[in-house]
Amino acid sequence: MADIDIGGGKEPLINGEKNKAFNRSVSHQQDELHSFRKYLRWMCVDHSSPWTAILSWTMFVVFTLVVPAISHFLLACADCDSYHSRPYDSVVQLSLSSVAAVSFLCLTRFVSKYGLRRFLFFDKLWDESETVRRNYTIQLNTSLRIVSYFVIPSFIAMSAYKTWWYASGGSQIPFLGNVILSDTVACVMELCSWLYRTTVIFLVCVLFRLICHLQILRLHDFAQLFQIDSDVGSILSEHLRIRRHLRIISHRYRSFILCLLVLVTGSQFSSLLITTKAYTQVNIYRAGELALCSMTLVTALLILLRSASKITHKAQAVTCLAAKWHVCATLESFETADGETPTLVPRNKGRDVITLTESDSEDYGDEEDDLDNNNIIPAYAFSTISFQKRQALVSYFENNRAGITVYGFTLDRGTLHTIFGLELSLVLWLLGKTIGIS
């Protein structure tokens, strides 16, 4: 290891990329990511070693490609009755497998290229406050439960459907020599495939939500700078750091968000097209799997879009906060005598004071926080920030709005309304072509 001389002393210099990669990838007992790495190994999406990487890719190929293909071509049961036929199985398998494949490839790229600590921004937490570090670690542990909240109900519903389908005679292919044994193995493999694909999809979406939550915690910490006697330079440097992290998140996730939006939209329109054809019988027996697949994919997309729009809204609320801070500081009056220290004039001198009662504050519920509220910001008598500096800072916020972007398009609430309007127009157009609605 090389040493450099600083002030007559020796300080070790670590310049090996392998050592850096090793230090940020290896888990230990005190590591806050220890349980999360165990979860990844249990899910067979761990790429920390060649053997686990081979196992991960094997499980991906088997449960995302092989099992759905065998299920569709060998268990389609074209000669079954109307309750057991699966006319929408191709849309279900293609939709779920394509989204799961994109999710797995993105997760593999993230972990392999950046490492788990760097990908989840744990390597940047040393510069954050204790509140941010503690709440982010709590949110990490909560995220694993959030994945189960979405996966378990879907898996239970699919288990009930598949158990009924096989138990009531949906399949009669004794590829193991015995019908009961064959149906049991086929049912278990299909359920494992469903569980694997939905877990991978929701895991990537919840990780995006987790990273966005970290930026919200940082923004709440950033809002405290307006409550103390801070200088413009510190406020600007902190905001630039948050903007840089938002750009990093946008750059990493933009391809995944766009692909998921396109694939889920295509899946929903395909489902709508085949279920609104003339003489099509749609019931829970024939289209139950299709409905469950659609709800799963739409839920995953909503997690992404809601997380992106929420962090964008919080980031853009900084402009309102800075403008309010500027107004409160400008309206504050000082009485200065020659050779005397400036003194702060009370806010209620010469003008009315508007205060919020407790009942008024309760009406807002949980909508208010440090970034977006109706509280007056105190101005300080010994503040050295001039009017020009405050005005320049507000102008900077107005012209440099931060947020999550996808190839230049900001994912705010206005963008989500536009996406909803476009897709609603396409739905109405498609219904007009199939069932004649206008």
The per-residue pLDDT for 1 is 41
pLDDT tens digits, 403-415 = 898 888 888 888 8
Average pLDDT over residues 219-229: 81
Q: What is the pLDDT of residue 48?
A: 77
DSSP lists the bridge partners of residue 405 as 410
pLDDT given for residue 59 in this prediction: 92
Q: Is the pLDDT of residue 82 over 80?
A: no
Compute the average pLDDT of residues 84-90: 81
Torsion angles phi and psi, residue 3, rounded to 5? -120, 150
pLDDT at residue 268 in the model: 87
With a cut of 60, say whether residue 22 has pLDDT above it. no
Please say if the pLDDT value at position 33 is more than 70: yes
The confidence score (pLDDT) of residue 77 equals 67
d(CA 67, CA 175): 14
Mean pLDDT, rounded, of the chain: 78
Report the C-alpha gap between 13 and 4 in whole angstroms. 7
What is the spatial distance between Cα 75 and Cα 179, in angstroms, rounded to a whole number? 13
Query: CB-hemisphere CA count at 13 Å for 426?
Result: 13
| Greater pLDDT, 49 or 371 | 49
Q: Lowest-confidence range among 114-118, 242-246, 373-377, 381-385? A: 381-385
pLDDT value, residue 130: 86
From residue 75, give the alpha-carbon distance in Å to each of 70, 84, 170, 186, 290. 7, 11, 9, 9, 16
pLDDT band at residue 76 under the 50/70/90 scheme: low
User: Residue 98's closest CA among 266, 224, 234, 309?
Assistant: 266
What tens digit of pLDDT does each residue of 330-366 get? Answer: 776 443 334 444 444 444 444 444 444 444 445 544 5
Calpha distance 329→231 (Å, rounded)? 13
| Pairing between β-strand 334-335 and β-strand 9-13 as defined by DSSP bridges | unpaired
> What's the mean pLDDT in 252-281?
87
Which of 131-140, 171-180, 377-386 is the least confident region? 377-386
DSSP sequence for 81-149? -TTT--TTHHHHHHHHHHHHHHHHHHHHHHHHHH-HHHHTTGGGGGGS-HHHHHHHHHHHHHHHHHHHH
Give mean pLDDT, residues 246-258: 92
The reported pLDDT for the residue numbered 195 is: 94
State the pLDDT confidence band at 369, using cuts at 50, 70 and 90.
Answer: low
Query: Which stretches does DSSP call E strand in 259-412?
Result: 334-335, 343-344, 405-406, 409-410
Q: With cut-offs at 50, 70 and 90, classify the pLDDT of residue 291.
A: confident
Residue 205 pLDDT > 90: yes
